[in-house]
Amino acid sequence: QERALDEDMIIIWRNRPFYPLFVTATCEFGRHDDPQRISSGEKTLLKKNGGTIGLVTSARPVNASTNFTLNQA
C-alpha cells in the first residue's frame, strides 16, 4: 500500500513492537553521510518506541524509471 509520509508522522509513531520494513521510491530518503542533517530514513531507524526495522531506499537522487521498476517488483 502506497502512502505519503512526512517527518511529523515519524515523530508521533508509537508502533513498538511492530516494526515495518519500508520500501521507498524517492530521492535521498536514506541519505546517511551528511553530518549536518539527519535524514527521514535515519529518523525512522533511530525512533525510540517505534520506527522501522529496515529500509530499502535511496541515499542519492534516483531516476524515475528505476523507481518504477522497483515498485513493480
How much is the pLDDT for 6? 85
In the prediction, which pLDDT does 54 show?
Answer: 94
What pLDDT was estimated at residue 24?
84
> 17-46 in b/e burial notation, b at 16+ Cβ within 10 A?
eebeebebbeebbbbeeeeeeebbbbebbe
Which H helix or E strand runs over 39?
Answer: none
Residue 12, C-alpha cell as written in the block: 508521533
For residue 1, what pLDDT is reported?
Answer: 66
**pTM metric for this prediction:** 0.76
Residue type, 33: D
The pLDDT of residue 70 is: 75
Phi/psi at 31 (nearest 5 deg)? -60, 125
Spans of the chain below 50 pLDDT: none
